Chains A and B, each alone.
Chain A
Amino acid sequence: MKFFLYLLLALVVVPFQTTLLHYFSIFGVRPDLGLVAACLVGFLGGELDGLILGLLLGCFQDMLSAGDLWINVVTKGGGGFLAGLAGRHMAHITPAVLTAGLVIISCLSSAVFLYSMNPAGIDEIWMSLRSTVLVQAGFDALVGAGLYLLFRQRWSDDRMVTEGVL
């Protein structure tokens, strides 16, 4: 059941990312909704959920991107998994912690993309860092924290159910 929910989520997030998200771009950079979704689910649902959703989102994103077919599968799957591992070892998830986590995971994901593109030199890496990596990391963290604040009540109830409180 959960798998189909994640499939449905991926079928909404990826087309939204490719068709409508350019209206919300800053300096031509859009947030990576796939990564944000995988990380949020990973943080709050555990590493397996993050991994599964990340793999699904990555698979769909790879089909609608000009890059290699593996890169989004690995970055989104890995991002969801890492977020799950981080969430498992945290006593309390606050928006600030979530923001910091998303910045780190977004930067790691961007590093994989940068590596796969074989940048010509340090100048190109520096330029990518300024123009894409940092802007996207900030944007991802902002969107992630916003979504968390928006749905916090629902997620905190879920966590209590998981822990047997409710």
Chain B
Amino acid sequence: MAISRSTYGTRRLAIVLFACLLVALFLLPSQSQRLLQYVGGPLGQILSLPLAAFSSVDHGISETWNAYLALQSVHEENRQLHRDIELLKGQNNQLRESVAATQRYETLLNFKQQSPSQTLAAQVIGRDATNWYGGMILNKGESDGVRVEMGVVTPAGVVGRIVKTNSTSSVVLLVTDPNNAIAGVVQRTRDEGIVEGTSHGRARLKYIPLLSRVQAGDRVVTSGLTGIFPRGLAIGGLTQVEKSEGDLFQSAEIEPEVDLSKLDEVLIITAPYEDADSAQKLLQEIRGDRKKP
């Protein structure tokens, strides 16, 4: 009933092209992905403008919302005070918001100075375009030196790794996504394993040796062996250890250290170790650890 204005030939051509695209995607997946990545470059530039506009609206809404909630609590506490004092309280609250933001930036800066890695600060401007992946969009892209497979952290711990970039933005796959895998080590027992995300929005340490004495409450940190993250960054704490009869390994559920639902700023690790000396020193430390009984 719905009659399209397009001619039959055009429609047929479009359908044939779509079918060709489907065939190409299934037969030559890596080549087609490269082609789509190539096509996506200029499209990313176009997309960055509305993305930045919507992101600023988002930040405006969240700032207003936070200020409103805080004002409610101030109002509760100071119901008896005069109107001008309430006004001053409101202004004070706005200043507090600024101080809180400054403190967050200061913490990031301190962490950046102490960290042996070269890092780049970035702002979270959006969430994954689908419900199926734990992803976040950052406002730094290839033009800022961001590349795929770079690690993303906060002072609290590991956030995830970059999986897609365009010139002005990049996409982070969070540590809680089932498609993510990071080499981790239990801080107390030094048992290594692989940290993978789960469908419950948590993470799981897999392939822990069967004889290991890991227990709930142990902290898991990055092992530094995969090259994305330097050694010793917090991933999370073990909440539950599972050891099934007949299994070759144990596994344990991890509560991530970082609250991934409330991220505003992050650091992208552009180089895990600042210079060759640091890397060499770390290698010696690792070898030293391995020799210990």
A residues at B contact (CB < 8 Å)? 11-12, 14-20, 22-23, 28-30, 32, 34, 43-49, 51-52, 55, 59-70, 72-74, 77, 81, 84, 87-93, 110, 113-114, 117, 124, 127-128, 131-132, 136, 159, 162-163
Contact = CB atoms under 8 A, between A and B. Distances in A.
Contacts of A110: 132
B135 A88 contact: no
Nearest to B24: A70
A20 B169 CA distance: 17
Size category of the B interface is: 35 or more
Contacts of A55: 18
B171 A65 contact: yes
B129 A18 contact: yes
A123 B12 CA distance: 41
B133 A88 contact: no
Given A72-B130, A87-B2, 11 more contacts: A18-B129, A19-B58, A43-B2, A49-B4, A55-B18, A59-B39, A66-B128, A69-B164, A70-B36, A84-B2, A132-B131
B129 A64 contact: yes
Contacts, number: 176
B50 A70 contact: no
Contact of A15 (B11, B14, B50, B199): B50
A138 B115 CA distance: 47
A159 to B, nearest CB: 6
A117 B57 contact: no
A65 B130 contact: yes
Contact of B57 (A11, A19, A44, A92): A19
B54 A128 contact: no
B68 to A, nearest CB: 14
